[in-house]
Structure 1
Amino acid sequence: MLNVPRSLFDLPDDVVYLNAAGAGPRLHRVNDAAREGMEGSARPWAFDMHMWLDRIESLRQCTAATLGTAAEALAFIPSASYGEAIAARNLRVEAGQKILLMAGEYPSNRTIWQRTADAAGAHCVDVTPADGERWTAALLRHIDADTAVISAVPCHWTNGAPVDLTAIGDAARRNGAALVVDASQSLGALPFDFASIQPDFVVSAGHKWLLGALGLGWLWAAPRWREEGQPIEETWLAREQRDQFGGDSAVPPPYRPGAARFDAGGTAHPVSIPMAEAAMNQLAQWEVDGVARSLQALTQHLDQTLAARGLSALITPDHSAHFTALRLPDDRLDAVQRAFADAGIVCARRGSGLRIAPHLHTQTRDIDQLVAVLHDAL
């Protein structure tokens, strides 16, 4: 495990925060960057546009290096749903085809595809695993020549149940389907193998495992879409000759090379950019592999401690390395949730369970406290 002091995070001593899948714990250095950005934005007379644009590109490059991809593949977006809308604008869906969705997925990953299917005369299919079946097998069972788009995730947002995206990507290419991935629940916490998966688009919020600001996330675009993709707005930041405002009214300037054509207007925010920069620099120091190993040690400790207490039935089987959920009986959910709240344990109720999502501030003693409170509340 990485030896990360809890003091790096802005967390009270009496709070056991286990909801990194909802909002990442805030680093003090990210808070400091926010304050500095706010103070700087109050002095517009001292603002240097060229230095600011260089700083934005530096963040793009740092993010690419940290996540294991190329800077030209990344675009700034305000939310995962914005990125999904870019994917929907560019991917071809024809009448009679189907779009595969994972049952119970987050609404932002569903509604844009429902609207897309309706407009094209296609239809959405909610993929639900059969008893004992994993998500990967369920998705593979539905992918065929009629599939236009597969909307998938590295792990289900409610309980960390994993999806083998490399296998899904292979099946998508064999059948001529596009693959769109919302990696908000893994990017920054688990390695993402862009080269093996070969998705069309990957989107991610920036305020979860990337530890940045709400309102600034990322879109990854495959090489084809970096060359021919159409954004959903026409911000000046996404065009060449960004410092020339009096161009030809008949012919817009060309898009910037790569995925920068998809950059959203307003994401070059004087507060959120420095926050993301501070968070990404810290992730780069830790390295995503190191974060993943440390979080896996914590979730393994949770599973082992539950088993030692005779609570193995509550464990989500084969969950992802970085988070899981407690599968509680319906008649005990409220009581356990109240007990956790009384003990200062913060987690999220998702579906029929309580999601447990630690981060590097979490200690094994926090996990031990959670299991002790759980045991007494059942």
Structure 2
Amino acid sequence: MHDEFPLDPELCHLNHAAVGPWPRRTAEAVSRFAEENARWGSLAYPQWLAVEQRLRERLARLIGAVSPDEIALAKNTSEALSVIAHGIDWRPGQTVVGIAQEFPSNRIVWESLASLGVTWRGLDLDASADPEADLIAMCDGNTRLLAVSWVQYASGRRLDLERLGAHCRAHGILFCVDAIQGLGALPCDVRRFQADFMVADGHKWLLGPEGLALLYVRPELRDTLTLRQFGWHMVEQVGDFDRTDWSPARSARRFECGSPNLLGTHALEASLSLIEEIGMDRIWSRLQERTAHLIASIEGRGFELMTPADPGLRAGIISFRIPGIPAEPLYRELMQRKVLCACRGGGIRFSPHFYTPVAMIDRAMEILDETLASRGSG
């Protein structure tokens, strides 16, 4: 397995919640694609499209969708959320319920609906002992949509999507899941979650490139979203360039207006092939072992754990604070010493993956100890 991740031995990569490294096979797939393009141009374009179809199939299996026709490929999570937000037929006075501490992509897009008379309301997650119950309580007769991240990017708090999805479906509320911090770390079943929409970029836990994202729309809702982008690729009669009459594709391809990102397609398809070979249950089991080890190391040092210790309330993100030590300068020092991490929510965020050696986690914590000692805080 380590052959797939030839990371520099001096690097402690604990930042999969930001940008994950490519597996070896992904780098090789991109190299082959580039060499083929340089040597033969687009002679193999039909084969490239076959890779794109395999990617849709892998993504459909990954999230539990019925068909690859349910999968659209967007440029990123923000674009996918914008397709949803500005495709819904809103009425003045309607509300969107979410979480106040969301990553900006899952807040700004809903706030942009204010000009339509739509209000976004955010739950203060830090003040909630039962976020699912509080989110449900915030939904009323004016709530058109509940939009949440599966896993919060700063605290690592995981939501019970089944509970939220069941409430939304029973009360006619649309349910939108930003799965970027869970997909590739946790087993996923979009139908069990009863999600109407799911989005996720490929460059974090999926170990793929930036610039390519999943957009899932429940088939029954596909025709209800007003299209805001148009082009040759989103029509049913794609490839019939002389045709003057057209209609949107019946599949989720209707949300893809122009030329596909085939470079990114080759990369993400290769990364997902590794994830499928290993299996999400095994990935999740190995990731739990690593996060539990990391939590024990953090708590053993007396640091303040920001992420829930309960395995049922977290995924791969482990965030913590050190009393009396500002997070930002500490983060910069760790990065200088090649501990790849993040500063989020006023704390240090570590995010190992299933393949991360436990010894790497231990080394990162030793470097943290050394850094604190050198600052006179050990």
TM over 0.5: same fold?
Answer: yes
Could you give the per-residue CA deviations for residues 115-159 of structure 1, whole angstroms, max 9, x where no partner exists? Answer: 11x122121112113645143233122112221111101111112
Partner of 1:139: 135
Is 1:135–1:162's contact at 8 Å kept on the other side of the alignment?
Answer: no
Is 1:19–1:358's contact at 8 Å kept on the other side of the alignment?
Answer: yes
Cα distance change of structure 1 residues 343 and 134 upon mapping to structure 2, 3 Å threshold: farther
Partner of 1:149: 145
Residue 274 of structure 2, aligned match among 271, 282, 287: 282
* CA deviation after TM superposition for structure 1 residue 308, in Å: 3.2
SS in 2 for 1:194: coil
**1:87 correspondence with 2:84:** yes
Aligned equivalents of 1:46 and 1:120: distance in 2? Answer: 44
Is 1:348–1:355's contact at 8 Å kept on the other side of the alignment?
Answer: yes
Is 2:146–2:173's contact at 8 Å kept on the other side of the alignment?
Answer: yes
Residue 347 of structure 1, aligned match among 322, 338, 341: 341
Partner of 2:307: 316
Partner of 2:249: 256
Partner of 2:59: 63
* CA deviation after TM superposition for structure 1 residue 371, in Å: 2.7
Residue 120 of structure 1, aligned match among 89, 94, 116: 116
How many residues are treated as equivalent by the alignment? 368
Is 1:37–1:271's contact at 8 Å kept on the other side of the alignment?
Answer: yes
Cα distance change of structure 1 residues 235 and 41 upon mapping to structure 2, 3 Å threshold: farther
Tell me, which stretches of 5 or more residues in structure 2 are unaligned?
none
Partner of 2:181: 185
Cα distance change of structure 1 residues 287 and 274 upon mapping to structure 2, 3 Å threshold: same
Bigger drift between 169-178 and 79-88 goes to 169-178
Is 2:128–2:134's contact at 8 Å kept on the other side of the alignment?
Answer: no
**1:41 correspondence with 2:37:** yes
SS in 2 for 1:207: coil
Partner of 2:100: 103
Bigger drift between 334-343 and 157-166 goes to 334-343
RMSD: 2.1
SS in 1 for 2:180: coil
Partner of 1:372: 366
Bigger drift between 93-102 and 325-334 goes to 325-334
Residue 301 of structure 1, aligned match among 289, 293, 301: 293
Tell me, which stretches of 5 or more residues in structure 1 are unaligned?
none
Aligned equivalents of 1:256 and 1:98: distance in 2? Answer: 30
SS in 1 for 2:96: strand
Could you give the per-residue CA deviations for residues 13-41 of structure 1, whole angstroms, max 9, x where no partner exists? Answer: 10001010101122111111112222223
Q: TM-score, with normalisation over the residues of structure 2?
A: 0.90
Aligned equivalents of 1:335 and 1:90: distance in 2? Answer: 42
Cα distance change of structure 1 residues 263 and 238 upon mapping to structure 2, 3 Å threshold: same
Bigger drift between 335-344 and 281-290 goes to 335-344
Cα distance change of structure 1 residues 50 and 306 upon mapping to structure 2, 3 Å threshold: closer
Aligned equivalents of 2:5 and 2:195: distance in 1? Answer: 34
State the identity as a percent. Answer: 29
Is 1:143–1:171's contact at 8 Å kept on the other side of the alignment?
Answer: no
Within 5 Å, give how 1:159-198 maps onto structure 2: 159-198=155-194
* CA deviation after TM superposition for structure 1 residue 45, in Å: 4.7
Partner of 2:211: 215
Is 1:296–1:322's contact at 8 Å kept on the other side of the alignment?
Answer: yes
Structure 1: 4+ residue segments shifted above 6 A: none
Aligned residue identity for 1:78:
K
Partner of 1:241: 237
Cα distance change of structure 1 residues 138 and 44 upon mapping to structure 2, 3 Å threshold: farther
Aligned equivalents of 1:115 and 1:53: distance in 2? Answer: 35
Partner of 1:53: 49
Aligned residue identity for 2:283:
V
Partner of 2:264: 272
Aligned equivalents of 2:206 and 2:323: distance in 1? Answer: 32
Aligned residue identity for 1:257:
R
Aligned equivalents of 2:112 and 2:87: distance in 1? Answer: 14
Cα distance change of structure 1 residues 76 and 374 upon mapping to structure 2, 3 Å threshold: same
SS in 1 for 2:175: strand
Residue 77 of structure 1, aligned match among 74, 79, 83: 74
Is 1:309–1:375's contact at 8 Å kept on the other side of the alignment?
Answer: no
* CA deviation after TM superposition for structure 1 residue 44, in Å: 5.8
* CA deviation after TM superposition for structure 1 residue 262, in Å: 1.5
* CA deviation after TM superposition for structure 1 residue 339, in Å: 4.4
